[in-house]
A and B are shown apart, each in its own frame.
Chain A
Amino acid sequence: MNEMNENPLDILPEVMLAASAVIGLLLGAWLPRHRQWMVGALAVAACAAGIAAAAVAAAGPVTTAFGESFTVDPVTGASRIIILAGTLLVLGLAIGPLKANPREGEFYVLIQLATLGTLMLAGAQDLLLLAAAYLLASVPAYTLAGFRKDSAGTEAALKYYVMGALLGVVMLGGITVLLAAGRATMYPMLRTELPAASVGLVMVGTVALVAGVLFKIGGVPAHFWVPDAVQGSTAPVAAFLTTVPKIGALAALYRLVAVPLADTSIPWPDLVAVIAAASMTLGNLAAFFQQDVTRLLAYSTISQVGYLLMPIAVVGATDLDQRALLFYLAGYTITNIGAFAVVCAVPHARNIEDYRGLARERPVLTASLVVCLLGLVGTPPTAVFLGKVQVFSAAFDGGYAWLTVLAAVNTVASLFYYLRWIAPTVSQRSHRSAFTGPRTATGVACGAAAASIALGVLANPVLELLTTPLAP
């Protein structure tokens, strides 16, 4: 504890992203409006370099940085790569619509800062760092939600902010209680201290802490911001908000239950299982009759959280949990951003009915949409299918057979609304509205669809990498 390990090279991806955000901010202040894209290019470079650095670090031994408050282990490594890849895709989506926007540079900087916060969430091994990461991941995101400055955007930002601020405070309270109970904020120390502490205290602290994490995940009951924030913000921002922060927060929750809460007597597996069940069911039910495609996708992401929480409920009860979570996260990130990319590619189509006849006019884009939506359902051979098999196996093996059955039933239910979106694309169109939009978004959609299938088919090397166990 005394010898502070502050080697910044261990957190090279984070450092690079922070540097790029700061440089981008300065650069943005000097560059003329039509050259602001350079800030974006810098962000892309930082993300790409970050992925490379994360891959190198993941191949190395497990280390910790900054006095053991940040850990670089397989979960961090995989999360880093997924987060940065997701951010790259979102940047790809943003390039077209943002061109020559007066605040183009700021957008890229905010995205990078939110991503940085998410990266910290994924690796945090200390409750205080977790709180700091939460704030860093949230505050830029509030701004992003209201980036358009119209009434819908303002409402989105406000709802998002109020929920985030409230649950953030609750989370800080929880951290305080856990500090009181365990006399530490470091996970490894909490692991030894918490089992001996008062159960009531730990219980209250855990619930309050998880509330904040759940806000970032967008899971029930902290999901109220999701549909409004997603509908109100621009489509690239919506893609970001529903994907990237989730990755970090789920990794954080995984680490929480795997280390500090592992030996406590509080029934966290049941708690997580109930949240998972509620998320998938409520998300699905609410998505059923949505007409607005972004709102539909918003509810779909809430239901996806349910599946993502399943492996967390069985941490320690099976050896399939970590691999299942990380693989599902990777598949979900690609597929969900791919679906949002289709929305970006045809910005004038807001409602399901507006997609009527898309198949004839944009066959490749329609194919991407079908692959992404069926991918979200879990149709083989997409990545999410294999993720689902993993997640179901993990939950089944961990003794949560009822949750597995519920998840299967929910999958069928989710099919209904995804098909409501797919069906009009293959029918004859009744009225004319141009299916035009940024080419880059189409490219991202096709790329994501292809990647989703590729990851499903060539899953073996990825799965093997993800099986390496977590540092204790």
Chain B
Amino acid sequence: MLTALILLPTAVATLLLCLPRTTPRRLILALWTATTAVELALTMTVWAGYQPDGAMQYETHVEWIPSAGVSYHIGIDGLSLPLMAMTCVLFLACAVYALRETRRVREFAALFLFLQTTCLGLFAALDLILFFLFFDLSIVAMYFIIAGWGHTAAHRAALKFFLYTFLGSLALLLGFIGLYLAADPHTFDIVELTEENPLSGRSLYGALVLLAIGVGLAVKTPTIPFHTWLPPAHTEAPTIGSVVLAGVLLKMGTYGFLRIAMPVLPGAWREYALVFVVVGVVSVLYGALVAMAQTDFKRMIAYTSVNHMGYILLAIGAAAAVDASAQSRQLAMSGAVFQMVSHGLLTGALFLLSGVLYERGRTYEMTRYSGVADRAPVFAALTGVAAFASLGLPGFSGFIAEFQILAGSLGPQPVATGLALLGILITAALLLRAMQQVFLGPTRLPALAPGAAKAFPDLRPHESAAIVPLLALGTVLGLLPRFVLDVVEPTSRTLLELLAR
């Protein structure tokens, strides 16, 4: 079941590549959208059959390369399931948004479908090498998406993205090898490693492995000071590339912390939790401040991602304080997972909206726009909703996530949490300022290439169809978060128990 869910997109991608070159564009796009819809339906089926008790379910464990300690081991728990569902929603939104795409559609669709496989596979992987496989292949697919369909400086940005994240992945690989050699018998299986806790009592070794894994995941997340690849990659990527990059690929980093670093290296994690707290808070504040300084709409959103990922790091760092009350740590953990889902949906929507803006005006420079709300009220309204949701207004998913994180972290890390609160203030300010700049005031639009200068049409049906569900889901999660939290909480309890060993 899970294997089919993971491999179906790649199978369809192969099929697409085998189709003759004369295949109509619409057929390819329809196939793509249909596949992502089927994926979402499959995930929903999986969710329906999931028992929220914190244990691994839908496990498949097949020998792959036993002599190297590698197996094909997948399964899901309350940590991966919400992320997989979010992934499927985002990919469906991307496919819908791309319905009007005209440039080399066949390859584009195939790459996105392949990327979906890597993302779903990563969230289901229970073997370090399998995890690494999907991690690396997602980088490869994203490289080609940025380089092949990005804006003018895409090649440089794609190269930078690839080099940075690949460096991260190799640090990760070193950490994995460290774990592999420490386990007896040698294995890459996450579940076995978690049970065995091979580095308990070996503090230097544990610290080095945590350093390698931490750096690897921090590059992907991205946190200060490894975030420099993110803004150019986001700015140059095609719209839906940015959506997947921010919505899904960044979560691979934070997910890795929760899935690998925390349960396999509990001792080292507890010892160095403060580092994660500090990095988290610095990311929160620095991301917000730099976002404030941006005049490029898309770049600004990219930097708010650094800020939002910082909260997650703060929460998982704070959760390591074993002497704090179990309830607040639990709250922080659930908040971290909830933030991953919420950020995926809301940032996805924001990037799609920025794509709409670019589509109309051919620039992301906010100073070139003014009073757009007059011409495109629906677009303005949706952007407003997305911005408010993103800055954490009550009633939206962002609020639940940030509230949980901050409330949970306040007990164990009061100073850091106090500082992180400022981050919310700054993001609120910068998002409101951006809204004001672009949507209010006298109407002024960038001068365009001849022919398209006048109009700034409102959202087209396929754009609305991609954006509205994301925001609706963000709102639903904000009003009725229980159905996700019910799944997340048992698993975060299990994780905290593992951490307390």
Q: Which residues on A are within 8 Å of B, measured CB to CB?
A: 363, 374, 377, 379-381, 386, 389-390, 392-393, 396-397, 404-405, 408-409, 411-412, 415-416, 419, 423, 426-427, 459-460, 463-464, 467
Contacts and interface: CB of A to CB of B under 8 A. Distances in A.
B65 interface: yes
Contacts of A405: 174
A377 B166 CA distance: 10
A398 to B, nearest CB: 10
15 contacts: A386-B68, A390-B68, A392-B174, A393-B177, A393-B180, A412-B166, A412-B170, A416-B163, A419-B159, A423-B159, A426-B147, A427-B155, A460-B63, A460-B64, A460-B65
B439 to A, nearest CB: 36
Given A380-B133, A426-B147, A412 B68 contact: no
Contacts of A426: 144, 147-148
A24 B172 CA distance: 52
Given A423-B155, A459-B65, A389 B129 contact: yes
Residue among B65, B140, B163 with most chain A CB within 10 A: B65
B117 to A, nearest CB: 13
A408 B173 contact: yes
Interface string B49-66: 000000000000001111
Given A426-B147, A459-B65, A464-B67, A380 B174 contact: no
B162 interface: yes
Nearest to A408: B170
Given A380-B133, A408-B171, A423 B163 contact: no
A379 B67 contact: no
B180 A460 contact: no
B167 interface: yes
Contacts of B177: 389, 392-393, 396, 404
Residue among A386, A389, A459, A467 with most chain B CB within 10 A: A389
Contacts of A389: 68, 129, 173, 177
A150 B159 CA distance: 38
A209 B362 CA distance: 65
Interface in B170-184: 170-171, 173-174, 177-178, 180-181
A393 B155 contact: no
Contacts of B63: 460
A392 B143 CA distance: 26
Contacts of B174: 392, 396, 404-405, 408
A460 B66 CA distance: 7
Given A416-B163, A463-B68, A381 B133 contact: yes
A379 B137 contact: yes
Interface of B: 17, 63-68, 129, 132-133, 136-137, 140, 143-144, 147-148, 155, 158-159, 162-163, 166-167, 170-171, 173-174, 177-178, 180-181
A460 B67 contact: yes
A397 B181 contact: yes
Contacts of A409: 167, 170
Contact of B162 (A386, A415, A427): A415
Nearest to A374: B140
A464 B67 CA distance: 6
Nearest to A457: B64
A411 B173 CA distance: 12
Contacts of B162: 415, 419
B65 A379 contact: no
Contact of B136 (A363, A380, A459): A380
Contacts of B167: 409, 412
B65 A386 contact: yes
A380 B180 contact: no
Residue among B64, B68, B132, B155 with most chain A CB within 10 A: B68
Nearest to A405: B174
A404 B136 CA distance: 19
A458 B170 CA distance: 23
A396 to B, nearest CB: 6
In order of increasing CB-CB distance, the 8 nearest A-B pairs are A380-B133, A408-B170, A412-B167, A463-B67, A460-B65, A426-B148, A459-B65, A464-B67
Nearest to B106: A363
A415 B166 contact: yes
A411 B170 contact: yes
A397 B136 CA distance: 24
A464 B68 CA distance: 9
A380 B181 contact: no
Contacts of B133: 380-381
B163 A412 contact: yes
Contacts of B129: 380, 389
A419 B140 CA distance: 11
B172 to A, nearest CB: 10
Contacts of A411: 166, 170
B214 to A, nearest CB: 15
A454 to B, nearest CB: 13
B67 A415 contact: no
Contacts of B143: 419
Contact of B65 (A392, A397, A408, A463): A463
Contact of A396 (B67, B132, B163, B181): B181
A379 B140 contact: yes
A363 B181 CA distance: 41
Contact of A467 (B17, B67, B181): B67
A463 B147 CA distance: 37
Contacts of B148: 426-427
Given A404-B174, A427-B155, A393 B65 contact: no
Contacts of A386: 65, 68
A427 B149 CA distance: 9
Contacts of B163: 412, 415-416, 419
Contacts of B178: 396
B67 A393 contact: no
A397 B144 CA distance: 36
A119 to B, nearest CB: 27
A379 B136 contact: yes
A380 B67 contact: no
A396 B175 CA distance: 11
Contacts of A419: 143, 159, 162-163
Given A392-B174, A408-B173, A415-B162, 19 more contacts: A379-B137, A380-B129, A381-B133, A393-B181, A396-B174, A396-B177, A408-B170, A408-B171, A408-B174, A412-B163, A419-B143, A419-B163, A423-B147, A426-B147, A426-B148, A459-B65, A460-B68, A463-B65, A463-B68
A396 B68 CA distance: 15
Contacts of A416: 159, 163
A163 to B, nearest CB: 33
Contacts of B181: 393, 396-397
